[in-house]
Structure formats: C-alpha cells, structure tokens
Amino acid sequence: MASTAQPVAPGITATKKPHRSTGPSGTTPPRAPAREARRIPRFVWALPPVAVLALVFLYPLALVVQQSFSPDEGGTSIAPYGDVFASESFRSALTTTVWLAVGSTVGCLVLGFVLAMVIAFVPFPGGRAVAKFIDVFLSFPSFLITLALLFIYGNVGLANGVWTDLTGASKGPFDFLTTPWGVLLAEITYFTPFVMRPLLAAFSQLDSAQLEVASSLGARPARIVRQVILPEALPALAAGGSLVLVMCLNEFGIVLFTGAKGVTTLPMLVYSKAILESDYPAACVVAVVNIAISVGLYSLYRMVSRRVGA
C-alpha cells in the first residue's frame, strides 16, 4: 500500500509533538491537587457584632446589676433589694406601672380594632392616606403626642380657653391630664397605631367573599364581626397587644411630660432615686426589676408572634 505521509516542504524539518511522561505502567500521572482556599470559620464573622453588643449593652447592664448588690456601706450584699422591696414607694410604683400598662393595652386593643375595621371595611375618601399615615405615626416620639394633648386639654389649652370664653368662668373644667387618667389617655392615643398596623395587614388578607356570603345569608354586622372578622384578627391582636404591653411598661416620656405629680411608675422611680436622691443602689435595684419584667414580657411577645405567625 502507498504511504500516506504528507510531503515536507524543502527547508522545513518535521518536528514531533512532545509527549507527556508516563508512569511505569504507561498511565499519565495525576496533577498535583490545587491548594484549596482556607475558609474562615463562621463564628469569626459573629465576633464583631457580639463585641459591639457586649461593649454597648451588656457591659453597662452588668454594671447596673453589680451596683444593685453594692450598698453605700461597701461590699456586696442583697440589702439594697430588701430595702427597696420593703419600701412603700416601690410597691406603689409597681402597682401603678402594671395597671397603667394593662389599662392602656386594653384601650389600645379596643380602639385599634374598631378603627382598623373602619379603615379596612368602610370605604371613605382618603382611607388609603389614613392607612399610610399610621406607618408615619409610628415614628413619632411619645412626648410629641403628650404636648399635643396639653395644647388641647391643658389648663391653658384650647378646650379650657373655649369654655372660659363661652361661660366667663375663671378656669375650664379639663384638668385631668395631670392625673393617672391623663397618662392613660396619652398612652392609648400614642400606642393605638401599634395595634392597628398588624390588624390592617391581617384584614388585607381576609377574603371579602366571606363577608359577602355572611351578609347574603342574613347575618347582622355584629355577628359578622364576631364570627368572621374577629377570628382572623386574633393573631394580630395578640401580637400587637403584647408589644404595646411591653412598651407601656417602660414608658417614661409620657409620664414626665404630662406632669402628673401623683403618678410614679418604675421608670420614674429610677429617675427619682438616681437623679433627685442620688441613691444609686436603689435606682439600680428598681432598674433590674424593670428589666426582668420587660424581658419576660418581650419573651412572651416573641412566643405569641411565632405561634400566630404575625
């Protein structure tokens, strides 16, 4: 058979392709494995935020706890706790704090539920604008609402001014803002949107066909609310109510700005002991009690939120 080799042009020498060396068995040896990039352990990424949290929050909290066990005489003792728990001022502040927080929470739940239903199910001009305003309202500071109430119901406020102008009286009848009822009104006014926000989100997921079917079957509005709307609103009510309870328990600005002299809550007692009386161990004891109650209620809020999916 004729050779099939290709002719080589003059002046050009044929070269052979280099062959890779083979092992004893004739197989190509494997390449050296590339060095894998060293991965940083996950816990290293958590160190910076943990360090910042410890420096900004945990360290001051530890100092407060330590000071609560350090009486003025020196050393370490639980005597400050015994003195504070035995004082009438602490028991009165604890009672006032609890009933104001519970009363404000109940008021926010009732008022927030009614207002949220009106916004969600009663069409009126500007309804969407009102719903969006609620999100903006959540960013307002609490003392701003208190000042607004003072301008309306204060001793020289708008309501008393109108009354004196109409009747010629020396002073108006509205003087409740400096009482516990004024604090209650201010807290309900400020914290109600915190209940309305999750309620509006829950009502937006409610199928309007259920309301139409219930109405077509002759159900009265009260029955529709009780058997159709309320069951859908219970998870949002539980989450919003738990959050409001925690915030009312720690509210300081509203009580301070209303000027209610006979209203002393736990935050106000901390302020009084630390700033006015310079009794730092007692102030730290009250602060530790307030923190313990707040953490317990916040844990309850998180548990309720997870269970209801709010």
**Contact between 154 and 160 (Cβ < 8 Å):** yes
- The H or E element that residue 298 is part of is helix 280-308
Measured CA to CA, the distance from residue 268 to residue 140 in angstroms comes to 21
Residue position matching structure tokens 């504070």? 84
**Contact between 245 and 105 (Cβ < 8 Å):** yes
**Contact between 149 and 189 (Cβ < 8 Å):** yes
Give pLDDT, residue 202.
85
- Pick from 262, 213, 218: nearest CA to 100: 262
Give pLDDT, residue 303.
78
* DSSP string for 207-268: -HHHHHHHHHTT--HHHHIIIIIHHHHHHHHHHHHHHHHHHHHT--HHHHHHT-TT---HHH
DSSP, res 18: P
In terms of C-beta density within 10 A (0-12 exposed, 13-18 middle, 19 or more buried), how is residue 191 classed? buried
Name, in order, each residue with C-beta under 8 angstroms of 80's C-beta and a sequence gap of 6 or more: 68, 69, 70, 71, 281, 282, 284, 285
- The domains of the chain, with CATH numbers, are 93-308 (1.10.3720.10)
**Contact between 104 and 185 (Cβ < 8 Å):** no
Give pLDDT, residue 109.
94
Residue type present at position 42: R
Give pLDDT, residue 240.
87
Give pLDDT, residue 12.
47
Name, in order, each residue with C-beta under 8 angstroms of 115's C-beta and a sequence gap of 6 or more: 192, 196
pLDDT tens, the chain, 310 aa long:
444 445 544 444 444 555 554 555 555 555 555 454 467 777 778 788 888 887 887 888 888 888 888 887 778 888 889 989 999 999 999 999 999 999 999 999 999 999 988 888 887 787 778 877 887 877 888 888 888 888 888 777 788 888 888 888 777 787 788 888 889 999 999 999 999 988 888 888 877 777 777 777 777 777 877 877 888 888 888 888 888 998 998 888 888 888 777 788 999 999 989 888 888 899 999 999 999 988 888 887 777 667 665 5
**Residue 278, CB-side half-sphere exposure with 13 Å CA sphere:** 1
**Contact between 248 and 184 (Cβ < 8 Å):** no
DSSP, res 26: S
Q: Tokens for 58? A: 């945990």
In terms of C-beta density within 10 A (0-12 exposed, 13-18 middle, 19 or more buried), how is residue 105 classed? buried
- The H or E element that residue 152 is part of is helix 142-153
**Contact between 305 and 242 (Cβ < 8 Å):** yes
